[in-house]
Amino acid sequence: MDSFATLPLRALAVFRNVLNEELVKSVHVYLCENGKEITVEREFMFCPNSYKQMTPIPNLVHGSSGFNIHIFNNVGAIVEAIREGQQVGLWLCILLFNSHHPPVSSPLPALLTISRNPKLKSIPTLANDLQKVSEFRCAIEDEEVNTFDRQESTRVYEFNFFDKSQIAPVVHTVPSPSSFAEGLSKIQHIGNSIPVRNKVWKNRAPTKHVASIALSDLSKHFNVPMAEASRNLKVGLTVLKRKCREFGIPRWPHRKIKSLDSLIHDLQDEVKRQERENEAAAKAATKRRKLLERERETIERRPASEIQSETKRFRQDVFKRRHKAKALSNKVATSLRI
């Protein structure tokens, strides 16, 4: 087990070699029990079939590459010296995290996201720290949402505190003592009856629960709208959208799944009808239905994929036949009424 796994992570920088993209270097800064910071450098080989950790080669750290590990001896120096996307010698910074500074709003690269790149689990020294970075970013974003909600709630409360319909118009006359006392009692009664709008705070989804949501969990809810899926997963809509960006899902695939389900259902009815009339047509419809079912499974596994062109043409033909049948039905109904 890695001796640094239990230490708090203060900073993490990940670099990719511009000449050999399979070569990845990471610099980790941990906080020891005595309050001192310790810097650890690791090097990995991201092969297509497997990932493995290597022993850092000194001449890749110091020398012609221009990469100097000593700039990471101070946590605060990381943000000042390096930025994401900056190239230092032969090394390109693809991830920069510092617990002393707010995280950037951009998502983690797909290469460093465990949910999208499961091969990272084979190198726990890097995967564990990437998981910590992901949980830290989720916690910061949740805190920003909570702060925004509290500010909005305070602004709405201040605006709606008084019921303006119950404020009596100003009358420029000198009231008598009896009318003054009666008016004072009415004002006190109105003040006591003003409702105080208490903000009902919604429970935020735990950070660990959000981080544990995998693509397989999302795929179970692709057949329902996104709002309903967020309720089923017990997370907010914003959190679900963030998870979709993490998995590379540009758009919730509910409409694509629903469209394919409709075509599959129509073909099932067509097969039952053609079995009694035309056996060859029934076999063709059955083959088409199986193709659509496989395409539906493909979209569930890769939600970013689009519906095939052939399927789109078939769907357009179905829509045309429905429109013609409906127009013919309306024409017959009109002629019967005449």
Count CB neighbours of 195 within 10 A: 8
Distance, in Å, from the CA atom of 97 to the CA atom of 138, rounded to the nearest integer, reads 13
Rg (CA), the chain: 31
First to last CA, the chain: 86
- pLDDT(170) > 70: no
Could you read off the pLDDT of 278-321 as tens digits, one per residue? 878 888 888 888 888 888 888 888 888 888 888 888 888 888 88
Distance, in Å, from the CA atom of 218 to the CA atom of 233, rounded to the nearest integer, reads 8
Distance, in Å, from the CA atom of 39 to the CA atom of 88, rounded to the nearest integer, reads 18
What average pLDDT does this structure show over 101-110?
Answer: 65
Distance, in Å, from the CA atom of 2 to the CA atom of 6, rounded to the nearest integer, reads 8
H-only helix segments in the chain: 58-61, 75-81, 124-160, 177-193, 207-212, 215-219, 226-233, 237-246, 254-277, 279-301, 309-337
Tell me, what's the pLDDT at 69?
Answer: 43
Distance, in Å, from the CA atom of 257 to the CA atom of 261, rounded to the nearest integer, reads 6
Main-chain dihedrals φ then ψ at residue 284, nearest 5 degrees = -65, -40
Q: What percent of the chain has pLDDT above 70?
A: 70
The residue count of the chain comes to: 338
Tell me, what's the pLDDT at 100?
Answer: 74
Could you read off the pLDDT of 233-242 as tens digits, one per residue? 989 888 899 8
Question: What is the band of 73 on the pLDDT scale with cuts at 50, 70, 90?
Answer: very low
Distance, in Å, from the CA atom of 31 to the CA atom of 267, rounded to the nearest integer, reads 62
pTM here is 0.45
Distance, in Å, from the CA atom of 97 to the CA atom of 13, rounded to the nearest integer, reads 6
Tell me, what's the pLDDT at 228?
Answer: 92
- pLDDT(187) > 80: no
Tell me, what's the pLDDT at 315?
Answer: 86
Tell me, what's the pLDDT at 141?
Answer: 65
Tell me, what's the pLDDT at 122?
Answer: 86
239, 250 in Cβ contact below 8 A? no
Average pLDDT across the chain, whole number: 76
Could you read off the pLDDT of 205-219 as tens digits, one per residue? 788 888 888 888 888
Question: What is the band of 109 on the pLDDT scale with cuts at 50, 70, 90?
Answer: confident
Tell me, what's the pLDDT at 125?
Answer: 85
